[in-house]
């Protein structure tokens, strides 16, 4: 076969493969379109309780022993070696593996029971304690990765290995948009600390239109959204139109679905120039609302992001994820936990109350938690102690969106080291989230490399006790 013949063969076959890929994507879209109901929020497989999710991720791993899982039994063992029968064969990180002794470190926090339900939590949660009867507290979450990156990746994608689609991308793929002028999946970051790479909101093998979009609470809401100097709206519109015309010509030639995704991205970006700046302007909120959140127009931070999350939910964004860094407390956990609670307590409570007051909480699922908990033994860091990573058990709470408020699910052992009852796996959490959104987690699949993938992989059970 000569070079010219080979070139013709490759051209013909690549066109065929491109057409097949386009047909496959189109088929997926048709299947999803048939599965969706005409009324937004009615679910893909059965009636939905929630239309959207606000996920408040406390990046770094809050200590469950100092927030929501009080273990008074540890006080009498404080400073003693943690029994080997409790530790078992569990992995330890290199940060404590070489310590001569793993000594029990009882919490130094004050505790209280709140609401009619009597949910127990750190007394520093002065505001979150007022929404205790809206919360479903799960104290028996179990994960497996012991380091931050794989643990967050597992929580976000259902796999500890990077490359899979994340929660928001699966929802974007499954449920589509409620507002054509905004992304279905938005991410907001606050504070410094543990790195939060953009692959935590990546679409993986799903079409790229389902990737999360990072918004900023200060400056340009989205990087490069504003017109460059010397370019007005008319020029920008003509520029986008010209680029998309060229992309459409190329799309007709080779049928690459990613070109179609790029066309959609350019068009959405142009529409966002009008819709996003107004949406992100929290100075439009009342003085009472700003004070409730502790938000500051023109500033940045977790409080501003919580208020923006409510505005995004109100505007129809499907999945809003807030990453608040600074929860990786390997030293002085007693003081550091109090400082972090002061940063998030008021805005978290204000978000739930604001959603409820506006009639949005009933169909908005709010999730609060980190990627793992912390050890019941202390890390030797001088006069004070910290806590190491601990995926074996930790706490997380949910509210709204079909959740049964005022309940506590699961228990850990006397040292808060192992799950004692009602273990909830990460895939169970995902299955429950999808269920509330009207999605059967076993039916939301995407074929990739010959296999049907899903968020819950080959596991996952809905946590029935969490449902209203």
Name, in order, each residue with C-beta under 8 angstroms of 284's C-beta and a sequence gap of 6 or more.
Answer: 278
**141 DSSP β-pair partners:** 394, 424
Please give the pLDDT value at position 234. 74
Please give the pLDDT value at position 217. 66
Please give the pLDDT value at position 417. 98
Please give the pLDDT value at position 259. 67
Please give the pLDDT value at position 240. 67
Class of the CATH-defined domain 41-221+280-466: alpha beta
Report the distance separating Cα 319 and Cα 170, nearest Å: 10
Please give the pLDDT value at position 11. 43
Please give the pLDDT value at position 264. 64
**53 DSSP β-pair partners:** 319, 365
Among 243, 299, 295, which residue's Cα sits nearest to residue 266? 243
User: Which parts of 45-161 fold into alpha helices (H)?
Assistant: 84-87, 148-157
Domains in the chain: boundaries: 1-35, 41-221+280-466, 224-278
Please give the pLDDT value at position 237. 67
Please give the pLDDT value at position 180. 83
Report the distance separating Cα 391 and Cα 340, nearest Å: 20
- State whether residue 467 is helix, strand or coil: strand
Name, in order, each residue with C-beta under 8 angstroms of 350's C-beta and a sequence gap of 6 or more.
Answer: 127, 292, 293, 294, 306, 307
**385 DSSP β-pair partners:** 380
Please give the pLDDT value at position 268. 62
Please give the pLDDT value at position 282. 93
Torsional class of 13: left (φ above 0), alpha (ψ -120 to 50), beta (otherwise) = alpha
CA distances from 302 to 153, 200, 205, 343, 459 (A): 22, 18, 31, 7, 34
**β-bridge pairing 52-59 and 364-369:** parallel
Cβ–Cβ under 8 Å, residues 225 and 214 = no
Residue 161 CB: number of other CB atoms within 10 A?
10
Residue 99 CB: number of other CB atoms within 10 A?
14
Please give the pLDDT value at position 266. 54
Supply the pTM of this predicted model: 0.85
Please give the pLDDT value at position 179. 82
**138 DSSP β-pair partners:** 396, 409
Please give the pLDDT value at position 263. 58
Please give the pLDDT value at position 235. 67
Average pLDDT per consecutive 10 residues, the chain (468 residues; last block may be shorter): 46 37 38 40 85 98 98 96 93 86 95 98 98 98 97 97 96 90 93 91 93 81 63 68 72 70 60 73 94 94 97 95 97 97 98 98 98 94 87 98 98 98 98 98 95 95 98
**Dihedral sign for Cα atoms in the order 191, 196, 197, 198:** negative
């Amino acid at each position: 076969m000569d070079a010219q013949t080979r070139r013709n063969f490759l051209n013909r076959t690549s066109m065929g493969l491109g057409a097949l890929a386009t047909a496959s994507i189109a088929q997926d879209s048709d299947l999803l379109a048939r599965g969706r109901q005409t009324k937004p929020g009615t679910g893909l497989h059965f009636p939905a309780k929630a239309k959207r999710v606000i996920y408040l991720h406390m990046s770094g791993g809050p200590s469950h022993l100092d927030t929501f899982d009080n273990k008074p039994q540890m006080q009498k063992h404080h400073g003693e070696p943690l029994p080997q029968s409790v530790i078992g064969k569990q992995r330890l990180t290199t940060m404590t593996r070489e310590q001569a002794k793993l000594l029990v470190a009882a919490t130094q926090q004050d505790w209280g029971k709140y609401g009619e339900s009597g949910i127990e939590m750190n007394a520093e949660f002065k505001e979150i304690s007022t929404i205790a009867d809206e919360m479903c507290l799960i104290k028996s979450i179990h994960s497996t990765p012991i380091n931050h990156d794989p643990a967050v990746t597992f929580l976000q994608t259902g796999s500890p290995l990077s490359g899979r689609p994340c929660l928001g991308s699966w929802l974007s793929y499954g449920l589509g948009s409620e507002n054509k002028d905004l992304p279905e999946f938005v991410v907001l970051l606050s504070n410094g600390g543990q790195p939060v790479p953009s692959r935590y909101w990546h679409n993986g093998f799903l079409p790229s239109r389902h990737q999360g979009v990072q918004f900023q609470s200060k400056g340009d809401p989205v990087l490069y959204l504003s017109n460059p100097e010397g370019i007005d709206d008319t020029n920008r519109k003509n520029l986008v139109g010209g680029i998309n015309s060229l992309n459409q010509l190329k799309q007709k030639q080779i049928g690459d679905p990613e070109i179609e995704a790029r066309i959609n991205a350019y068009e959405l970006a142009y529409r966002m120039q009008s819709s996003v700046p107004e949406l992100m302007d929290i100075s439009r909120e009342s003085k009472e609302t700003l004070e409730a959140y502790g938000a500051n127009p023109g500033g940045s931070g977790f409080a501003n992001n919580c208020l923006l999350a409510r505005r995004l939910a109100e505007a129809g964004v499907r999945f809003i994820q807030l990453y608040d860094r600074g929860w990786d407390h390997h030293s002085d956990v007693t003081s550091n936990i109090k400082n972090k609670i002061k940063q998030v307590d008021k805005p978290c409570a204000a978000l739930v109350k604001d959603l409820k007051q506006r009639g949005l909480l009933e169909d908005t699922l709010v999730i609060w938690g980190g990627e793992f908990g912390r050890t019941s033994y202390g890390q030797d860091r001088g006069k004070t102690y910290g806590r190491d990573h601990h995926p074996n058990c930790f706490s997380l709470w949910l509210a709204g969106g079909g959740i049964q408020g005022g309940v506590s699910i699961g228990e850990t052992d006397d040292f808060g080291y192992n799950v004692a009852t009602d273990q909830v796996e990460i895939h169970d959490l995902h299955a429950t989230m999808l269920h509330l959104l009207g999605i059967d987690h076993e039916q939301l699949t995407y074929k990739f490399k010959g296999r049907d993938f899903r968020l819950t992989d080959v596991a996952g059970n809905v946590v029935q006790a969490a449902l209203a």
